[in-house]
């Protein structure tokens, strides 16, 4: 049985754990800093197993990162979540420190694992994980494009009153207001949505996709989204553990692809047992490539801000 460690037993981490458990994808170690939280949630999940016959093992731990030993994948969800009026970028300073500390522990006990980052601001936290871990770039992957794309799918299906199974959407770029939904590459049964929805409505759907997380935060008032982020993460986990070679939009470190250097950004990636095994470069028109580069610059500014924060800290 494969093994997955999830760090952070809040709503996102616990929901990821439950979905992996129900699919029997891997044994699970759930770790949190709050005394008893991971243990209690893991035990609750384990006690649900007899109904559907889940055979994976799940166990919770408090601050015991040695439980990550032997993990194929480590998923990091730890950090503070957004409140109404906050952007993902507002989380930068606090979550940077949390992710630094967590990744140092992961390296001690799971140095051969693949890291999937979920903590926000996502692309910036990928930079932190990459720098602290020293892992190859294929082994540090951010969950963002999958989530943004399934949100876009949902809104398109609602607009056309069709099954979400008929929609394939593609959203690239950073996980935030600068994300780049691509209507030309978004289809319904192979037909580009630009043939089915007028331009003004497409722009409204794009705006709603960019603000999808904030919309949920404003409704919940005391937290942020977790069902869809968990589903997106598990899609990535399954592709890696089963060596599917599945192409999904993920945040990876670009080294010249799309003309972008040394920035984590969402692009189509082939996921397999080695992690991000290949970066797919699709043809973008001038407007699309400009939007992608603008998104990269936004991430780059966050990375520079983190450097300043580290300097001030020392």
Confidence of residue 92 (pLDDT cuts 50, 70, 90): confident
87: pLDDT strictly greater than 90: no
Confidence of residue 305 (pLDDT cuts 50, 70, 90): very high
Indicate whether 44 and 126 sit together in one domain: yes
CA angle 114, 116, 119 (to 5 degrees): 145
Q: What is the pLDDT of residues 147-164, one digit of tens each?
A: 999 999 999 999 999 999
Q: Which of 54, 127, 175, 298 is catalytic?
A: 175
Total tally of structural domains belonging to the chain: 2
Query: Residue 313 domain-assigned?
Result: no
82: pLDDT strictly greater than 70: no
293: pLDDT strictly greater than 70: yes
Indicate whether 126 and 214 sit together in one domain: no
Question: In whole angstroms, what is the distance from residue 125 CA to residue 144 CA?
Answer: 12
Indicate whether 48 and 18 sit together in one domain: yes
Indicate whether 154 and 83 sit together in one domain: no
CATH label of the domain that carries residue 82: 3.40.50.720
Task: Report pLDDT for 86.
Answer: 66
Name the least confident of 88-92, 131-135, 206-210.
Answer: 88-92
Task: Report pLDDT for 20.
Answer: 98
Asked if residue 4 lies in contact with residue 20, where contact means CB atoms within 8 angstroms, the answer is yes
The domain boundary residue, chosen from 142, 160, 180: 142
Q: What is the pLDDT of residues 122-144, one digit of tens each?
A: 999 999 999 999 999 999 999 98
- Supply the pTM of this predicted model: 0.95
Q: What is the pLDDT of residues 176-187, one digit of tens each?
A: 889 999 999 999
Task: Report pLDDT for 99.
Answer: 96
84: pLDDT strictly greater than 80: no
Task: Report pLDDT for 80.
Answer: 78
Task: Report pLDDT for 91.
Answer: 78
Task: Report pLDDT for 52.
Answer: 85
Indicate whether 70 and 131 sit together in one domain: yes
- Average pLDDT for the chain: 95
Task: Report pLDDT for 133.
Answer: 98
Task: Report pLDDT for 89.
Answer: 62
Is residue 175 annotated as part of the catalytic site, yes or no? yes
Instruction: Using alpha carbons, select from 254, 290, 297 the residue that is nearest to residue 180.
Output: 290
């Amino acid at each position: 049985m494969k093994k997955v460690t999830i760090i952070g037993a809040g709503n996102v981490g616990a929901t990821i754990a439950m979905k992996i458990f129900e699919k029997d994808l891997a044994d699970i170690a759930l770790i949190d800093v709050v005394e008893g939280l991971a243990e209690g949630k893991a035990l609750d999940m384990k006690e649900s197993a007899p109904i559907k016959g889940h055979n994976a093992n799940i166990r919770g731990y408090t601050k015991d990162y040695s439980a990550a030993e032997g993990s194929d994948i480590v998923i990091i969800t730890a950090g503070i979540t957004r409140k109404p009026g906050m952007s993902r970028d507002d989380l930068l300073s606090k979550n940077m420190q949390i992710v630094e500390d967590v990744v140092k522990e992961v390296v001690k006990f799971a140095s051969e694992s693949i890291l999937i980052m979920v903590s926000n601001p996502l692309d910036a936290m990928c930079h932190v994980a990459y720098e602290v871990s020293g892992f190859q770039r294929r082994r540090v992957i951010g969950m963002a494009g999958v989530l943004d794309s399934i949100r876009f799918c949902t809104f398109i299906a609602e607009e056309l009153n069709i099954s979400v199974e008929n929609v394939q959407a593609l959203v690239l770029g950073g996980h935030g207001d600068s994300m780049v939904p691509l209507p030309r590459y978004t289809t319904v049964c192979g037909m580009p949505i630009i043939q089915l929805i007028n331009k003004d409505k497409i722009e409204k759907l794009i705006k709603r996709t960019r603000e999808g997380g904030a919309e949920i935060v404003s409704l919940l008032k005391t937290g942020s989204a977790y069902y869809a982020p968990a589903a997106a993460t598990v899609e990535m986990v399954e592709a890696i553990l089963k060596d599917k070679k599945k192409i999904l939009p993920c945040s990876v470190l670009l080294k010249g692809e799309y003309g972008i250097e040394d920035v984590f950004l969402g692009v189509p990636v082939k996921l397999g047992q080695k992690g991000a095994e290949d970066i797919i470069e699709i043809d973008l028109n001038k407007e699309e490539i400009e939007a992608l580069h603008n998104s990269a610059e936004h991430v780059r500014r966050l990375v520079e801000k983190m450097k300043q924060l580290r300097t001030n800290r020392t």
